[in-house]
Structure 1
Amino acid sequence: MTKTIKITPFADQKPGTSGLRKKVPVFQTPGYTEAFIQSIFDSLEGYAGTTLVIGGDGRYYNREVIQTAIRMAAANGFGRVLVGQGGILSTPAASHLIRKNEAFGGLILSASHNPGGPNEDFGLKYNVANGGPAPEKLTDAIYSRSKVIDRYLIEDFDDVDLDRIGTFEAGGMIIEVINPVTDYAELMETLFDFDAIRAMIAGGFRATFDAMHAVTGPYAKEILVRRLGADPALVLNAVPLEDFGGHHPDPNLVHAKALYDTMMSADAPDFGAASDGDGDRNLIIGKGVFVNPSDSLAMLAANAHLAPGYKAGLKGIARSMPTSGAADRVAEKLGVEMHETPTGWKFFGNLLDAGRCTICGEESAGTGSDHVREKDGLWAILLWLNILAVRRQSVSDIVNDHWATYGRTFYSRHDYEAIESEKANHLMKALEDRLPELPGQSVGSLTVERADSFTYHDPVDGSISRNQGLRILFEGGARLVFRLSGTGTSGATLRVYMERHEPDPALHQQEAQAALAPVIEAAETLAGIRERTGRDAPTVIT
């Protein structure tokens, strides 16, 4: 029986770049989750009788919201729901399922790399029929609807047994609980040379992977261990936990320090990697060498032809604006298109759908290709393994060869987390007001060449996205970018991105923070971070 429940709108349901993210107690507010889901459904057209994919990263409150979403999908007229067993579904796997099953769209329950638990973060986003995140036009419509919504629709039936694979019927809708890994693993086998990777591992190559007690544990056990023969003892933290074991499932050098320390040790494995809460990010570390995500994107693009799925070459490369220009040099050498977009995977979707790029990535450890419409952590890891198997070189050798060919782009990101929103906004406003006067000014040893607020003109649909970050470009190619992140739930995170290109191989082995010192100093001089935020140092440096 369909119930119509009266509600009062909530004022804070504006989706960010990755949907709506709030603390669990906020989503537990009576009617809150239902209001947002109904706002999504009310903003869609033509979905009656179609398929909806539902799944999440296994964090706290995942199962409860999935049950609500299934009942509401039935009440609103969907004909079929596909849901991952146990409520588990990595974000890239969800994207693949939407595409493979020609679903109308999908609800993905995740707060990505944010902490999980009863008082931690929860998230919910809608992906469209191409498998990618909802475009701005749709998220704007969802927000507009959320401000006036006065009711939601829900069917009254028992909870679905999410742990039992099978097909069920309830509320006039078909519910299929599926293995969350199988379809994704089969897709990976079409893209990469599993025989070559398996032979490399059988020959003594050691690969370790940290699933961070998040969604990729089951995927890693199936693909890395069962299909490729990796040592199961080297697949770490493989059981998804609602609180991620009390850890922060963000694959960076702070939260994955144990993996980093292992890879820097004398007896390190040949290759180390990690993924995040929902499986769309990656960390790549070779024996004694960390590969920053901007460099990883460039190196994957330069070597992608070594994998069967990309042997025909690339149609183009795309990167988010804050990502370093390392990939630009690869695109230039390959003679393919290079696109600079705002942060947020939805901006890559148009380019991928139009055949304007094959590989894309963001400096925040997200890399992907046209196989899905989300970033994909395990995909990047498997492409690295494929490259290593074909080139028969170490990670360090591949990194140094790349730098010798293209030059090294020194790069770093400084995050100042949980700043009072008012202070963060004042800092950005003050800096933006100064931008017109900066060209020609000297800042330490650097001279400003150009400064602007990044505006993106989509070459496919002609849409314009303004205010996507503040850019300060210096003579000689160094660059500073300032952004406020939309992925947190407490205060604001100020992200400062610094880069400098160095063509001379004799200088490539400098430590990145030392090589970037003039740019780091310029950031403080221009933005007054200490004075305006009270922070003496970044929370995280990557």
Structure 2
Amino acid sequence: MSNSVTVDTKPYEGQKPGTSGLRKKVKVFIQENYTENFIQCILDVNKTSLIGSTLVVGGDGRYLVKEVVDKIIKISAANGVSKLIVGQNGILSTPAVSYIIRKYKTLGGIVLTASHNPGGADEDFGIKFNCSNGGPASDATTDAIYKLTTSIKQYKIVPDLNCAIDKIDVHTFKVDQRQFTVEVIDAVEDYVSYMKEIFDFPKIKALIQGTEQRKPFNVLIDAMNGVTGPYVKRIFLEELGCSEKNVRRIVPLEDFGGAHPDPNLTYAADLVEAVKEGDYDFGAAFDGDGDRNMILGRDAFFVTPSDSLAVLADNLECIPYFARGGVRGLARSMPTAAAVDRVAAARALPLFEVPTGWKYFGNLMDAGQLSLCGEESFGTGSDHVREKDGLWAALAWLSLLAHSGRSVQEMLQAHWKQFGRNYFTRYDYENCTSESCEEMMSVLERTMTSPGFVGSAHSAGGKEYVVKLADNFSYVDPIDQSVAKRQGLRIIFEDGSRIVFRLSGTGSSGATVRVYVDSYEAVSVGGAAADALGPLVSIALDISRLKQYTGRDEPTVIT
């Protein structure tokens, strides 16, 4: 039998979870008691339900995951948790954690990830708590966790409890006269079985393998050395019959092979080049923890996340999950281009515009009002879980292609012909000085709210835009009436074009400024996005004086 002990500790400043948990550099998390403090506060915020509860634990395989899983096991045992469900070797994708929480009806889960941020001893780590619905903790919960971190004095731990997580097994311990169980599970099995319920795998396999009437459809799937590697191997190699040449970087690595595991045109440029140069009909990449995706067609034809969401929304009936259950509503984050809005209108479906952060979709899903949603930051998902889901998105696209017989580019061209096109881009300025960025946002908001700004005209590249609305976006949750304020500065022009400015909460240090530009064209749908958006980008940089405040001549990433 093992006994718990109480360890004295002191608070650390800055343990405030962002939109996706607490993210800091590894060197911050390895400070004495830093990680232990935060884990204890996650458990304490659930104190009334903790005794006898079950929690799910897993992460994206980055540096420090195994060590932190060990701490979670020891601290959970000391705090009266009855059982932990842990992914083998600490591996579980974020959408898999969500599904396992829901399938086994657990109290929640602790996810060890910094998502799309780099990994390694000198890079990023993260911890977030997912609630019993499988989704990210609400603002009220993360605020409560943060408040506890500011005053924590002690944490409880069972220092001599050692549990191997490298093999699938069930371990039982006696702790403080109570039974404590750690079940180490196959990280992939539950999730893959669920995907086979959602999608028609034989139909997707027939697309990829080819038939007498149709040549094989050649795919290239890139796990970016993140958590989706084992899932890609099981689904694409074992279930769908792909060969090794159809997958790449499917071994999870603690530093993601030195790459930045963010599936966009900048950080997945090698995939873009491989699809462009090779004989591939379809390409997909996923981020470190498996919740983001990038979709490419032949010749590396890029599908923006906003367009991806809209095309999926208009073709959901070809996916068995939606054919059975129907479609209740559609939603997008506020910065995401409004392409899906037109699909919702055409299909007489409710459309919700929410702040950035997947947790805002959860309430709508739990209330039965939302079926499909997405964010321009390469996140797409449905009510099958309460997280965005990269692999799900790729399988959804393959389902559409198998059903329609069209190529990726043909799907987009047909969609634009019917609905028009939302040209969209996002400029990211990463690791900027926080103080100057905050000053920029403050000055910009004062400019936007000054008399005469609404109605003012702004010109660039031979085009003129007149301001119709300017505000700092706020959201009232239609389910619980909670309010989220100051979610991004919006400038909306009379033709429907938009410029949005946000300070991101997903980085581990410094500030990231994101500038979103969205321009709708009903007829001129075949042009280059850079040409169509050039005038608005110029106006955005001029209004914000972004170069002056950030000291940057160019963004870090353009998507």
Answer whether TM exceeds 0.5 for this pair.
yes
Q: State the shift of 1:46 in Å.
A: 1.4
Q: Match of 2:213?
A: none
Separation (CA, whole Å) in 2 of partners of 1:232 and 1:406: 38
Partner of residue 176, structure 1: 183
- Does the CA-based 8 Å contact 2:490-2:499 persist in structure 1? yes
Letter in 2 for 1:521: S
Amino acid at match of 2:544: A
One-letter amino acid of the counterpart of residue 450, structure 1: L
Do the aligned partners of 1:224 and 1:230 also contact (CA within 8 Å) in 2?
yes
CA distance in 2, matches of 1:268, 1:490: 40
Question: 108, 111, 115: which one pairs with 2:114?
Answer: 111
1:186 partner letter: S
**2:163, 2:62 → 1: CA distance?**
18
Aligned pairs for 1:446-457 (under 5 A) are 446-457=465-476
Question: What residue number does 1:465 align with?
Answer: 484
The structure 2 residue matched to 1:292, chosen from 304, 308, 311, is 304
Contact 1:324 1:409 in 2 (8 A): yes
Residue 249 of structure 1 corresponds to which residue in structure 2? 261
Shift of 1:61: 0.3
Alpha carbons 1:411, 1:516 under 8 Å: kept: yes
Aligned residues of 1:192 and 1:386 also touching (Cα < 8 A): yes
* 1:136 equivalenced with 2:155 (yes/no): no
Distance 2:96 2:119 in 1: 20
Provide the rounded CA distance (Å) in 2 between the counterparts of 1:432 and 1:153.
46
Match runs of 1:26-175 below 5 Å: 26-44=28-46, 45-170=48-173, 171=175, 172-175=179-182
Find the residue that maps to 1:516 and give its secondary structure: helix
**How far does the alpha carbon of each residue in 1:20-48 deviate from its partner, in whole angstroms, 9 at most, with x for none?**
00000100001000000111111112121
Contact map agreement 2:50 2:79 (CA 8 A) in 1: no
Aligned-partner residue type, residue 135 of structure 2: G
CA distance in 1 between partners of 2:339 and 2:528 (Å):
17
CA shift digits 1:379-418 (9 cap, x unpaired): 0000001111111110010010011111010000000111
Q: Matches of residues 379-458 of structure 1 in structure 2 within 5 Å?
A: 379-437=392-450, 438-444=453-459, 445-458=464-477
Counterpart-to-counterpart distance in 2, 1:530 and 1:380: 36
Separation (CA, whole Å) in 1 of partners of 2:251 and 2:394: 19
Give the alignment partner of residue 477 of structure 1, picking from 496, 500, 506.
496
Partner of 1:303: 315
- What corresponds to 1:369 in structure 2? 382
Measured against aligned partners, the alpha-carbon deviations of 1:290-312 in whole angstroms (never above 9, x if no partner) come to 00101101111111111101115
Residue 313 of structure 1, CA deviation: 3.2
After TM superposition, the runs of 4+ consecutive aligned structure 1 residues lying more than 4 A away are none
Q: Please list, as runs of the form range in 1=range in 2, the aligned pairs for 1:327-366 lying within 5 A after superposition.
A: 327-366=340-379
1:185 aligns with 2:198: no
> What are the within-5 Å matches in structure 2 for residues 222-301 of structure 1?
222-265=234-277, 267-288=278-299, 289-301=301-313
What secondary structure, in the 3-state scheme, does the structure 2 residue paired with 1:309 have?
helix
Query: Is the CA contact (8 Å cut-off) linking 1:446 and 1:518 kept in structure 2?
Result: no
Q: By how many angstroms is 1:341 displaced?
A: 0.3
Instruction: Provide the rounded CA distance (Å) in 2 between the counterparts of 1:140 and 1:439.
Output: 35
Aligned residue type for 2:282: F
Q: How big is the shift at 1:537?
A: 1.1
| Residue 169 of structure 1: how far off its partner (Å) | 1.1
Counterpart in the other structure of 1:536: 553
Give the distance between the partners of 1:78 and 1:513, measured in 2 at CA: 53
Task: Specify the alignment match of 2:6 in structure 1.
Answer: 4
1:215 matched to 2:232? The reply is no
Check whether the contact 1:221–1:232 (CA below 8 A) recurs between aligned residues. no
In the other structure, the counterpart of 2:18 is 16
Q: CA deviation at 1:224?
A: 1.2
CA distance in 1, matches of 2:268, 2:541: 28
* Structure 1 Cα separation of the partners of residues 76 and 434 of structure 2: 36
Separation (CA, whole Å) in 1 of partners of 2:270 and 2:99: 31
- Structure 1 gaps of 5+ residues are none
Q: Distance in 1 between matches of 2:373 and 2:153?
A: 40
Which amino acid in 2 is paired with 1:263?
V
Aligned to 2:333: 320
Offset of residue 201 of structure 1: 1.2
Cα pair 1:443 1:525 within 8 Å, conserved: no
The CA deviation at 1:156 is: 2.7
Q: 2 CA distance for matches of 1:164 and 1:264?
A: 40
Q: Which runs of 5+ in 2 are unaligned?
A: 211-215
- SS of corresponding position for 1:425: helix
Checking the alignment, whether the CA contact within 8 Å between 1:453 and 1:467 is kept in structure 2 is yes
Identity within the alignment, %: 50
1:509 to partner: Cα distance: 1.8
Task: Give 1:153's aligned amino acid.
Answer: K
The 5 A counterparts of 1:462-541 are 462-504=481-523, 507-541=524-558
Q: Distance in 1 between matches of 2:184 and 2:541?
A: 52
Aligned residues: 539
Residue 524 of structure 1 and its aligned partner are, at CA, apart by: 1.1
Q: Is the 8 A contact 1:408 1:502 kept in 2?
A: yes
Note if contact 1:35-1:146 (Cα within 8 Å) is conserved in structure 2: yes
CA distance in 1, matches of 2:320, 2:19: 32
Q: Deviation digits for residues 218-255 of structure 1, max 9, x if unmatched?
A: 00000111011122222100000000001100000011
Q: Distance in 2 between matches of 1:43 and 1:198?
A: 45
Q: Is contact 2:297-2:409 (8 Å) kept?
A: yes
Which amino acid in structure 2 is aligned with residue 272 of structure 1? G
Partner-residue secondary structure (3-state), 2:265: coil
Structure 1 residue 185, shift from structure 2 partner? 0.2
Q: TM-score, normalised by structure 1?
A: 0.98
